[in-house]
Structure 1
Amino acid sequence: MALLTLGINHRTAPLELRERVAFTPERMAEAFAELRATTGASEAAILSTCNRTELYLAGDDDCAQAVLRWLSGFHGLEIAELENAFYIHRDSEAVRHMMRVASGLDSMVLGEPQILGQLKDSYALAREHGASGVFLSRLFEQSFTVAKRVRTETAIGENPVSVAYAAVSMASHIFADMSHNTALLIGAGQTIELVARHLAEAGVRKFLVANRTLERAQTLAEARGGRGITLSEIPGVLANVDIIISSTASPLPILGKGAVERALRKRKHRPYFMVDIAVPRDIEPEVGSLADVYLYTVDDLHSVIEENVRSREGAAREAENLITAGTQSFLSQLRALDAVATLKQFRQRAEILRDIEIEKALRSLRNGSDPETVLRGLGRGITNKLLHEPSVQVRKATAEGRVEVTSWLRELHQLEVQEDDVSPTPEKL
C-alpha cells in the first residue's frame, strides 16, 4: 500500500489555473465516487482552498498518473495544463508534506492557523463519504498531533499574519483613516470573520455582510454592529461601501464589472478597495481595469507575507525538526502495522497446518493405532509441515547470494553460530 499526495499550490501555479482545479462543495460526493472507482486509490481525501488543491491517497503505487488523468477530465482540462504545475509526493515525503501543511509551513502565510481547520474539514469530509480508511486516518491524526506540538512548542504561531490580516493591511495604504469607511464583506466563513476582526481593529465602524444564508450573515454582522444581507442585495448597497473583501465557495463570480460601473457613477470617483480571496474568484477580473478601483487577489499579498516569513525563520527551523520526528514516528507505526498483519497471516497458516496434522492423528487413534506412535508422528508431522517451506526459501535465497536471510533466521530463532556451521563465503572460495 503506497501513500501519495498530488497537489497544486500558490508556488507552482497561478490563480487562473488554481481556480479551475478547485473543488466546489456541490461536486464533492461525485468527486469521491469517481476518484476511488477509476484510479486504483482505496482511500482518498480532498483539500481545496484558495491557495491549494491536494489529493491524499492510499492505493497502488502506480495510480498517480491515473489520478492526474481523472483530475483533468473532472475539471475539463488538458493533462498538459496540469503536468508542469502538479507535484507528487510518495510515502515518507507524502507524510512529511501533510505534516508541513497542517503546521502552516507550506502556506503562503508562514504559520497561518486556518489551514489546520481546513485540513480537519477535509478529513471529516473523507470520513463522511467513507473514503478514509486505516492508513489515511492514522496519517491525518498524526499530522494533527504534530501541528499541535508545532503550535505549542515553537513561536511559529505568535502574532500570525493571516491572508485576512494582509488584506486589511493593504487597505490602510488606500485609506489613511478607515473610521469613515464602510466595509462590505462577502461570505461568512472563518476567513471573513478574521477580516471583520482586523478591520474593526483598524478602525472600521460600519459593516455589511452579504451571504447566501441570511441568518449566518446577520450573526457575523451583528457581532460587529453591522447588518447582514443576501447576495442578491449587493447591487443595492454597492454605491455606499468603500472596502469590499470577498471569500466564498461560489463556482461563479458574485460581483461583475457592470454592477461596479453603475456604482462608480453614483460615487463620483470615490475609490474602491477590493480584495478577492476566493478561488475560484468572486469578483470578475475585468473589475480591476476600472478607474478608481484597486482590486487585489490572494496572489497580490506577497509584500506583507514576505515580512511574515522573515520574522519566523527561526521558529520554522524548530518546527521542521518536530515534523521530521513526527514523520519518523508515523513510518515506524506503519511498519509495526505491517508486521502485525504479517504475523497474523503467519499464525493463521501455522494453525491450518496444525489442524490438518491433528485430524490425521485423531483418525489414526479412532482406527486403533498405538497412541505413543500416533503422538510421535503428530510431532514429526507438525514440525515438517511448519519448517518445509521456510527451509526451501532459505536454501533458494542463499543460492541466489542473499546470505542475509540466514542471519535473519538466526536472529528470529536466537540461534548461536557454531564453528563447524560456518561455511566459506563466495569471497573466500
Structure 2
Amino acid sequence: MYYSISIDYHLASPADLGRVDLTEAELEAFAAELRDAFGIVELFFLKTCNRREFYLVSDGEPVDPNGWVPFFEGRFAGEGRVLGFRLREGQSCVRHLFEVASSLASLALGEPEIAHQIKQQVAAARSAGLVGKYLGALVDAAVRAGKRVRAETQIGRQVVSPLSLIYRQVRGALAAFGGKRIVFVGAGPYMRRLVPHFGRDHRFEKIFVNRSPSDMAAHFGGMAIGLDGFLANPPEFDALISATGSNTVLFGRDWLERTGRGKRRILFDAATPPDIDPSAADIPGVSLLLPAGLEEALRRNWRERQCEIPKAERIIEEELARFEARKQSLQISQWVSEIQDYFARVPLDLAGKYLAEASHPGSDVVSRQEMEKLLSRIGKRLAVIPILSMRGIARSHGTEGVRAAIEAIGDGSALFKDASLTRLG
C-alpha cells in the first residue's frame, strides 16, 4: 500500500514549510524510526520551495495510518504548533504524485522544475537504500506521466516559470536605479537553474557565495567568496539572491543595516526557511522580494493554459492504468520468481535421474524414444502448477475467474491463444 504525508504552500507559510526538513543522515534515522513504529520499508522525501511530501510503503502487514499525522506533527511542528499535514492512501496517493510530477499541482502550471527535483531527489534516496522496487516504480511512472503531459499538450508551452519571474523582478528593480552587481548565495540545484537567466544578460556582475568551495564562479563567470568571508567583509552589491538549505537566518537586519549604510538594495529570499531576516523589508532603501510575490503573475499564466488540463488528466488516467498493471506484477513478483526457479530446477533434476537410468554403461547417447519419454515426464510434472492454479481460481472466483486467467495466458503464450471459451459460459 502506498501512503503520503504532505504539506504545501496552500497549508503552510514558508517558515512553517522550512520546519519540515531533514539532512541525509537525519532522513535515514527518520526512516528507521518509521520502520520501527509503523512498519515502513520504503521512504521518499520530496522537498521543494512550495511543498514537503513523504511517500511511504508499508511492509505488507495491515496498518492503521490514523496516528501518522499526529506523529509527523509532533516530529516537525514543535510544542503547541500544528502545521497541517495531509494523509493520502492508495490510489489517492498515487494520483497525487502523478499530478505533482505533471506540474498540475504547481504554482506555475506546466513548469519543468518539479520533474528535475523529483529525479534528483529519488536518485539520492535510491543511493541511500530508502527507495526500493515499489516506490521506485511509482516515481518512475509519475515522471513518465509528467513527461507525456508536457510533450503531448500545450500545458508547458510559453510557461512563465518562477525562475524566469525572479529574473524579471530583480532585473526590473535594478534597472530603476542602475544597479548591476548581484550576489548569489548557495550552490544547490535551484541556484544552478536560476543563474543562467542572469548569465544571458551581460550587464550584470556576479558574485557567488557559498559555505564551502563550489564551481559556480568558474562555470557561470564571476567572483567567488566563502560565506564566512562575505559576512565578515562583504563587497558592495546591488542585489542579493539567497537559496540555501540553512536552518537559521544568514542575513540579519543588523548586518544588512550595517553593511548597506542606506544604499539602495534588492533582496530576494528563495530559501525555506528564510535566509534573510523578514524585518529587512522595513530597512530604508531595501526592497525584499519573496516567492509569494510571484503568485499573481503565476496564476494569470495558469489561467491562460488551464484549457489544457483535461488533456493532461486523460494522459494521467492512461498512465495510472498502466501503473496499476505494473503494481500487480510487482505484488506477485516473489511468487513469479519462485515458479520460475521451480520450473528451471525440476527439468534438471528429472533429466539427471532419467539419464542415469536410461543411458547404457559407458555411453552418453540417449535414443529419441528415451528422450521423448523424458520430455513427456517433465511436461506432466510441470503441468501440476497451472492445474492447481486453475482449480484454485475456479474455487475462489468461479468460471469468470477461469475465463480471465485463460485470456491472460492466451495473450502471452500459444497456450489458449485460439481456445474457445464457450464451454465456460
Counterpart residue number, 1:285: 278
In 2, distance between residues paired with 1:329 and 1:27?
Answer: 35
- 2:7 partner SS: strand
Counterpart residue number, 2:364: none
Counterpart residue number, 2:230: 234
> What do the CA deviations read for 1:271-328 (whole angstroms, capped 9, x no partner)?
2211111112111222222222211222222122123212322344322221221111
In 2, distance between residues paired with 1:405 and 1:98?
Answer: 36
Counterpart residue number, 1:306: 299
Counterpart residue number, 1:75: 76
Moved more, 245-254 or 154-163: 154-163
In 1, distance between residues paired with 2:90 and 2:270?
Answer: 32
TM-score, normalization: structure 2? Answer: 0.76
- 1:215 partner SS: coil
In 1, distance between residues paired with 2:25 and 2:133?
Answer: 26
TM alignment of 1:5-404, pairs within 5 A: 5-25=4-24, 27-59=26-58, 62-75=63-76, 77=78, 81-82=82-83, 85-176=84-175, 180-201=179-200, 204-220=203-219, 223-224=220-221, 226-235=222-231, 238=234, 240-265=236-261, 269-338=262-331, 394=395
Contact 1:165 1:194 in 2 (8 A): no
Identity of aligned residues (%): 26
Instruction: Report the RMSD for the aligned CA atoms in angstroms.
Output: 3.5
Counterpart residue number, 2:354: none
Contact 1:9 1:18 in 2 (8 A): yes
Q: Aligned AA for 1:7?
A: S
Moved more, 323-332 or 107-116: 107-116
Counterpart residue number, 2:347: none
State the shift of 1:136 in Å.
0.7
Counterpart residue number, 1:360: none
In 2, distance between residues paired with 1:118 and 1:163?
Answer: 14
In 2, distance between residues paired with 1:30 and 1:341?
Answer: 28
| Cα distance change of structure 1 residues 409 and 145 upon mapping to structure 2, 3 Å threshold | closer
Contact 1:178 1:204 in 2 (8 A): no
> What do the CA deviations read for 1:136-195 (whole angstroms, capped 9, x no partner)?
111111122222222322233334422222222222443335764211110122322333
State the shift of 1:227 in Å.
0.4
In 2, distance between residues paired with 1:306 and 1:417?
Answer: 57
Could you list the runs of 5+ residues in structure 2 that have no partner in the other structure? Answer: 344-380, 407-420
| Cα distance change of structure 1 residues 58 and 198 upon mapping to structure 2, 3 Å threshold | same
State the shift of 1:230 in Å.
0.8
Could you list the runs of 5+ residues in structure 1 that have no partner in the other structure? Answer: 351-378, 398-403, 419-429
Contact 1:69 1:79 in 2 (8 A): no
In 1, distance between residues paired with 2:26 and 2:92?
Answer: 29
Contact 1:38 1:70 in 2 (8 A): no
| Cα distance change of structure 1 residues 412 and 127 upon mapping to structure 2, 3 Å threshold | closer
Contact 1:22 1:49 in 2 (8 A): no
Number of residue-to-residue matches in the alignment: 372
> What do the CA deviations read for 1:393-417 (whole angstroms, capped 9, x no partner)?
95xx8xxxxxx64653576686836
| Cα distance change of structure 1 residues 331 and 251 upon mapping to structure 2, 3 Å threshold | same
| Cα distance change of structure 1 residues 337 and 192 upon mapping to structure 2, 3 Å threshold | closer
